[in-house]
Chain A
Amino acid sequence: MNVRRNLCAAVLASAFAGAVHAQESIGGAIERELETYRSMMKSDPWSNPGTLDVDRGESLWKTPAGPNNVSLEACDLGLGPGKVDGAFAALPRYFADAERVMDVEARVLWCMEKLQGFDHVKLLVRPHPGAGMPVKDLGAIATYVAYRSNGRSFAATFSHPKEKEMLALGEALFFHRSGPMDFACSTCHRDSGKRIRLQPLPVFSKPEEARRIVGEWPAYRVSAAHVMTMQHRIYDCFWQMRLPEVELGSDVSVALISYLVKQAEGGEINIPGMKR
């Protein structure tokens, strides 16, 4: 009897080991297939429909609009009025005229309001597109501005006291748990190997991962058929954490983007990225 029972246990144990092994190899196979899909998506930047919104953003940047009927070509993105090349690579930064630290979208929002005369409140009503809808004008303009830093590296200095303050706030927010689910950004983005459905989640506390990922945003999302900006990405993360809605260009959003950009310092900008 004893021998038989031991044999049973041994068979059972090996069966479990087999199941665990099979599960691992299925996970590995899925990951490999996904990697093939992603590399096919990236292999030809010309196949990325996000480039259509880069074109759209460029024409919006150069076309007079708003109550003041002026273009955004006088907008100072940090390198002087109208200087677009390389501006995104040095953002977020402190702007003396606005007395605030701003990322690209906060700055474009500011220019649309101050130069073109658009109503700030109206610009912030549903600022992000629903699935299947194209990115809003502001997002297309931000995508165009970011695109004009392609090939450069993230090089925001965070030297101004306000920039340092923003960076510290961003880091604190990243790790601070809150809300009904007691979630922080770090709940999902701290340990490697985590994923939501089939999406592997980057670990932003590791600079090598941040450098690889942050420069891909704004990115074209195939499943939603639109460009998703970084502000939209953070808005959506907050929604997923069941936290209150993040206002586009708010200090909370700019602080988190500052932290991500600092982590990605030196990483190459390659926009628009391509996501599931």
Chain B
Amino acid sequence: MSAKSRIRLPDQATIGEVIEIKTLIAHPMETGTRRNSDGTLVPRLLLHTFETKFAGQEVFRAALHTGTAANPFISFFMKVPGPGEFEFTWIEDGGVKTTERHDLKVT
């Protein structure tokens, strides 16, 4: 599906402003401890890392574990250093990466 994640940024920001960034992604966050109906373990499948770069520089990183709910919602704050592009990356067990890019309009 095309709409797998959602990013919420302010329409525009000023340099030095503290903005909130909200992210949502569809993911089962399978813990690896559940069993299915025939008793076999459901293999672990987690997004183990979420990282954000702004203008090429890392600004936020989170390690996610088995206690994280399915379809994780992560929000954080950033002081705007200047104009640039956000790069949001979620890394799944096995190394599959989902990346979203969004411009921030700075006035």
Contact = CB atoms under 8 A, between A and B. Distances in A.
Contacts of A132: 28, 70
A59 B28 contact: no
A38 to B, nearest CB: 16
Query: Contact residue range for chain A?
Result: 10 to 19
The contact size tier of chain B is 10 to 19
Nearest to A222: B69
Interface stretch (A45-53, A102-110, A261-269): A45-53
A51 B6 contact: yes
Given A47-B75, A59-B1, A132-B28, A52 B6 contact: yes
Contact of B22 (A47, A55, A134, A225): A47
B3 A56 contact: yes
Contacts of A58: 3
Contacts of A44: 22
B24 A47 contact: yes
Interface of A: 44, 46-47, 49, 51-52, 55-56, 58-59, 132, 134, 222, 225
B98 interface: no
30 contacts: A44-B22, A46-B6, A46-B22, A46-B24, A46-B73, A46-B75, A47-B22, A47-B73, A49-B26, A49-B73, A52-B4, A52-B5, A52-B6, A52-B24, A52-B25, A52-B71, A55-B3, A55-B6, A56-B1, A56-B3, A56-B26, A58-B3, A59-B2, A59-B3, A132-B28, A132-B70, A134-B26, A222-B69, A225-B69, A225-B71
Nearest to A63: B2
B8 interface: yes
A56 B3 CA distance: 6
Nearest to B5: A52
A102 B1 CA distance: 28
B1 to A, nearest CB: 5
Nearest to A225: B70
Nearest to B70: A225
**Residue with the greatest number of chain B CB neighbours at <10 A, chosen from A44, A52, A134, A222:** A52
Interface in B58-99: 69-71, 73, 75
A134 B6 CA distance: 16
Interface in B9-29: 22, 24-26, 28
Contacts of B3: 52, 55-56, 58-59
Interface in B33-73: 69-71, 73
Given A47-B24, A132-B70, A222-B69, 6 more contacts: A46-B75, A49-B24, A49-B71, A51-B24, A52-B5, A225-B28
B53 to A, nearest CB: 22
Contacts of A49: 24, 26, 70-71, 73
B37 to A, nearest CB: 10
